[in-house]
């Protein structure tokens, strides 16, 4: 288990698998010595780019600029923020745009994350074989320890 304060990254998307991973990440943050608090980083990766490119004929607003964004954000981050608040685990919430696996790996390296806690995809064998899964890509390419929650 964790014995000193660690930086724990949990990618979330509002799915049941990511909610389970969020709860497990909070438990891991609490497992350490109380003298050294672990910090939880919750990251939501949205597809695409923050701003439309000049090649878009009918660009749509980025998700974070739509009128219903704040409500969607609250719903997606609800489980992880509630669990962290109830246990006094420090949390940093971040929204980024791009390929999920690439952005998770980049964030982990940039923030010097110690462990990534990620939910399994829940995708079937055929779909996972054809498309791959974010959790598989992260586990294969991360420099950090990866804990996959099923």
Asked, for residue 1, whether it belongs to a domain, the answer is: no
**pLDDT score at 130:** 47
Residue that has been written with the tokens 């890509």 in this structure: 137
Q: How many CA atoms lie within 13 A of 106 on its CB side?
A: 10
**pLDDT score at 52:** 55
- Domain with residue 118: its CATH number is 3.40.50.620
Asked, for residue 23, whether it belongs to a domain, the answer is: yes
Residue that has been written with the tokens 């979330």 in this structure: 12
Number of domains in the chain: 1
**pLDDT score at 55:** 56
Asked, for residue 127, whether it belongs to a domain, the answer is: yes
Asked, for residue 35, whether it belongs to a domain, the answer is: yes
- pTM comes to 0.84
Asked, for residue 117, whether it belongs to a domain, the answer is: yes
Asked, for residue 140, whether it belongs to a domain, the answer is: yes
Asked, for residue 128, whether it belongs to a domain, the answer is: yes
Written in H, E and C, the secondary structure of the chain is CCCCCCEEEEECCCCHHHHHHHHHHHHHHHHCCCCCCCEEEEEEEECCCCCCCCCCCCCCCCHHHCCCHHHHHHHHHHHHHHHHHHHCCCEEEEEEECCHHHHHHHHHHHCCCCEEEEECCCCCHHHHHHHCCHHHHHHHHCCCEEEEEC
**pLDDT score at 3:** 52
Asked, for residue 2, whether it belongs to a domain, the answer is: no
| pLDDT string in tens for the chain (150-residue length) | 445 679 999 999 999 999 999 999 999 999 866 667 899 999 999 987 655 555 556 667 777 778 888 999 999 999 999 999 999 999 999 999 999 999 999 999 999 999 999 998 755 555 555 446 899 999 999 999 999 998
**Range(s) of the domain holding residue 72:** 7-149
Across the beta sheet with 145-149, what order do the strands follow?
Answer: 91-97, 39-46, 7-11, 115-119, 145-149
């Amino acid at each position: 288990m964790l014995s000193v304060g660690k930086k724990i990254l949990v990618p979330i998307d509002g799915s049941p698998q990511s909610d389970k991973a969020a709860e497990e990440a909070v438990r891991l943050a609490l497992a350490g010595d109380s003298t050294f608090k672990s910090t939880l980083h919750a990251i939501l990766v949205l597809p695409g780019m923050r701003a439309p490119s000049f090649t878009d004929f009918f660009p749509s607003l980025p998700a974070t600029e739509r009128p219903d964004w704040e409500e969607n954000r609250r719903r997606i981050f609800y489980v992880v923020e509630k669990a962290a608040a109830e246990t006094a685990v420090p949390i940093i919430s971040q929204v980024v745009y791009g390929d999920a696996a690439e952005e998770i790996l980049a964030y982990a390296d940039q923030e010097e994350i110690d462990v990534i806690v990620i939910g399994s995809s829940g995708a079937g064998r055929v779909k996972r074989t054809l498309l791959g899964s974010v959790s598989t890509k992260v586990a294969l390419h991360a420099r950090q320890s990866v804990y996959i929650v099923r």
